Structure 1
Amino acid sequence: MMIETRELTKMFKDVRAVDGINLTVARGELVALLGPNGAGKSTTLRMLTTLIPPTSGSAQVAGFDVVRRQRDVRLRIGYIGQGNGAGHSQRGRDELISQGRAYGMPVRAARTRAGELIDSLGLSDVADRTVSTLSGGQRRRLDIAMGLIHAPELLFLDEPSTGLDPQNRANLQEHIVRLRAEHGTTIVLTTHYLDEADSMAERVIVIDHGRIIADDTPQQLKAKHVGDRVILGFGSPVDAAQAAKALGAPVADGCVRLVAEDGPREAPRILDSLRSAGLAPDSIEVKRPTLDDVFLTLTGRSLREGGAADTEPELVEA
């Protein structure tokens, strides 16, 4: 296992930000940690990256204890947090090279790697400017490059796409997928972009109130907690009521709504059943569930509520 935690807990005075998380991530996995604002995602990442110590429980990262072997952990991971990490008075390229050197890379290798990341993340025109003159999106891309400079075996990404335009979001996703494919990098990310988690992660872990409440593939989460919705429209309220009775389903505004495990496969069977009863809908629609539907079911609120950035509070330790 690349990550293994046991009852990992973090208290800030009387606030239990992370509440006994048991988590395993295998080498080479790409895992998304998702949850509403303040759910404990960023606090969990900060403990796993040795930035803050746990109050209780334990965590092994890349085979090393996050409390007793911090240096060994840090040498093997990359961490891209929500804040900007580059020095404002430094040039972007120099910051990348210095970061590589800090990880023990030879000067030439650090320069080469910096150049590759600058090209990949669209920083060629601004890499030799001071960080203070860069836009918010450019700084974000520089932070991402700094986290990738040493090609870590385990990469933590905390809201990596925040502040990026669609093109640079797509470039970042492509780089992450390629990094994993070429080097077997284990990747753990938090994100509020549901399409990002759905398309990239083979496993989604939902956290709420500091606890893991769901852990599965995106497809299984949607099938298990929401399911496909089959919506049948009728021009006549009488026909709608009869169809609802025949199918044992609710009716509202002239539409009968059913939940099916596999909507496209079930739709023909539903239509055959109605035809045998002398009923025919005016329209039929199959809606596939989204991860936001999963969140609404599991937590009672949408992941998008409260904005795009995680507002997990900066609390004082007990």
Structure 2
Amino acid sequence: MELHDVWFVLIAVLWIGYFFLEGFDFGVGVLTKLLARDRREKRVLINTIGPVWDGNEVWLLSAGGATFAAFPEWYATLFSGFYLPLLIILVCLIVRGVSFEYRHKRPEDRWQTNWEHAIFWCSLIPAFLWGVAFANIVRGVKIDGEMEYVGNFFDLLNPYSLLGGLVTLTLFTFHGAVFVALKTLGDIRTRARALALKLGLVTAVLALVFLTWTQVDRGDGTSLIAMIIAVVALVAAIGANQLGREGWSFAFSGVTIIAAVAMLFLTLFPNVMPSSLNDAWNLTVTNASSTPYTLKIMTWCAGIATPLVLLYQGWTYWVFRKRIGTQHIADAH
């Protein structure tokens, strides 16, 4: 296996890690409107991800940085062609982070309500737009012979990509509901499981249609295996949730995300960004990659740094592993 193939796999792993971890972050943000009944319950939901949400975003930075260094042509075409949706995602991530920190700084009801609205919308919009973006990458976009995107924003809003956005939105919200059930106590835990069932059923329908469409259009034997794993894991997650086994349900919902994203990358390879105008203009792991020397240096750096990142992030989750409930929330000043 060549180094550019290795880095395609590593970038896929980074995106899988990001969607696995940030997925339930986004889901919890959406659930602050769908699940929480009052401000105290919203504080419970936010506190479940409070110690980890910013660490989860490290995976996005790593994926973007790795793409820039390993596949500069892919990075350039992607960020220029998808400029507007990626800018919207970036603004949402900034506002969302500020919302977590500023929401409790003042006691006025209007102040806190506005920041809570920001948490909801800045979780929902990226969860939807990431699906739109990756569906377009797999489907192919208008790239010319100079490796430049020649389409417009509305070309990205096609039925396949919009369905992909709905899949990521519902899947992440389901993932978040299962995480809330795993991390909370009392009535909110019970309601999270009930809502997870409804979300899981909607997700199962949308995901089955989207993954089948992807498989028929671009899939092969390996992507079919990944699709089957994703579907079976999602059904298992819904079943475990109904049995009150939140840990298993969260694990299976995570496997669903892992297998679904892996399927997208399997259907993509050896392309990194197909052209819908001419197959000869596809960006591939070969024509979009950096020099072998650059990839070699990156491999050594990744081999040293990645285990350290995994260790400190795993330690963070272990420290903050206990459940919380409304009884743990102090009265507002």
TM-score under structure 1 length normalisation: 0.28
Q: Report the structure, 1 or 2, having the larger strand content.
A: 1
Highest relative contact order (Cα 8 Å, sep 6+), 1 or 2?
Answer: 2
Structure number, greater radius of gyration: 1
Q: TM-score, structure 2 length as denominator?
A: 0.27
